[in-house]
Amino acid sequence: MARLYSFFRSGTSHRLRIALNLKGLPTEILPVNLRKGEHKAETYLALNPQGLVPAYESDDNGTLTQSPAIIEYLEERYPEPPLLPQSLGDRARVRAMAAAIGCDIHPINNMRILGALRQQFGADEKAITVWTNTWIHAGFKALETMLPEGVGQGAFACGDRPGLVECYLIPQVYSARRFEVDLSAYPKITALDATCAEREAFQAAHPDAQPDAV
Ligand SMILES: N[C@@H](CCC(=O)N[C@@H](CS)C(=O)NCC(=O)O)C(=O)O
């Protein structure tokens, strides 16, 4: 069975868990405790030299890193059910929404970045909150426009089932709530989040449902 090195609260691990569940791929979850620095241990660095979760031990193609690369791998290796739509234009639009989160929101709010802001630049918790809220609002404001009308009311970001956008968005909404971001200006995002929350694939991927949840 494939194995996913995951931290329950990590947004990138969370997005992988959703993708695996949507594709119905049984995977053993191996917790890596970021708070204890387990991602910096030699044994973990041998799997992912970047010292970041997730890492994915595939059945037949070795250990893979970087959640976007792993999700693309899963899509190519296990095409059914697809996470990407059929049309070329829709595929690009869906990838753009995923990248708005995966490239432009998540990385700059990551644990090591916030740690550097605190330790090297003297940021206090108030400044950290301003920082995280600034980038989440910037991304969510654009995403709210990019998402189609009617989303969340039986419709997903692209079509009638969840796919790549939902893999990225739902963990980012979870993270936004942890950072106490006011989501009231984003009715499409919150409706989509509520719709996904009703589905087993998302419930099983939720941080609270993980073996290392505290
Ligand atoms: N681009 C990478 C980012 C991975 C990443 O940043 N993971 C975070 C958890 S969400 C992590 O391991 N953080 C540890 C740290 O910041 O020290 C991916 O998508 O896999």
Sheet holding 63-65, edge to edge: 27-31, 2-6, 55-57, 63-65
The domain tally of the chain equals: 2
Measured from CB, residues less than 6 Å from any atom of ligand 1 are 10-12, 34, 39, 52-53, 66-68, 110-112
CA 72, 50, 171, 5 dihedral sign is positive
pTM recorded for the entire structure: 0.97
Phi, psi of 4 (to 5 degrees): -115, 120
- Is the predicted pLDDT of residue 152 greater than 90, yes or no? no
CATH code where residue 42 lies: 3.40.30.10
Return the residue whose CA atom lies nearest to atom 9 of ligand 1.
Answer: 10
94 and 172 in one domain? yes
- Is the predicted pLDDT of residue 119 greater than 90, yes or no? yes
Tell me the pLDDT of the chain averaged across its residues: 97
Number of H helices, E strands in the chain: 9, 4
109 and 76 in one domain? no
Q: How many angstroms separate the alpha carbon of residue 110 from the centre of ligand 1? A: 7
pLDDT at 182: 97
Q: What's the pLDDT tens digit per position in 154-200? A: 799 999 999 999 999 999 999 999 999 999 999 999 999 999 999 99
127 and 48 in one domain? no
Please check whether residue 28 is in contact with residue 16, taking contact to mean a CB–CB distance below 8 angstroms. Answer: no
Cβ neighbours of residue 91 closer than 8 Å, sequence gap 6 or more = 84, 85
pLDDT at 208: 98
Atom of ligand 1 nearest to the CA of 66: 20
Q: How many angstroms separate the alpha carbon of residue 60 from the centre of ligand 1? A: 24
Return the residue whose CA atom lies nearest to atom 19 of ligand 1.
Answer: 67
Q: How many angstroms separate the alpha carbon of residue 47 from the centre of ligand 1? A: 14
- How far, in Å, are 57, 135, 147, 177 from residue 28 at the CA level? 10, 33, 33, 27
Q: Binning pLDDT at 50, 70 and 90, where does residue 19 land?
A: very high
Q: What's the pLDDT tens digit per position in 55-103? A: 999 999 999 999 999 999 999 999 999 999 999 999 999 999 999 999 9
Range of the domain at 46: 2-81
C-alpha to C-alpha distance for 135 and 150, rounded to whole angstroms: 25
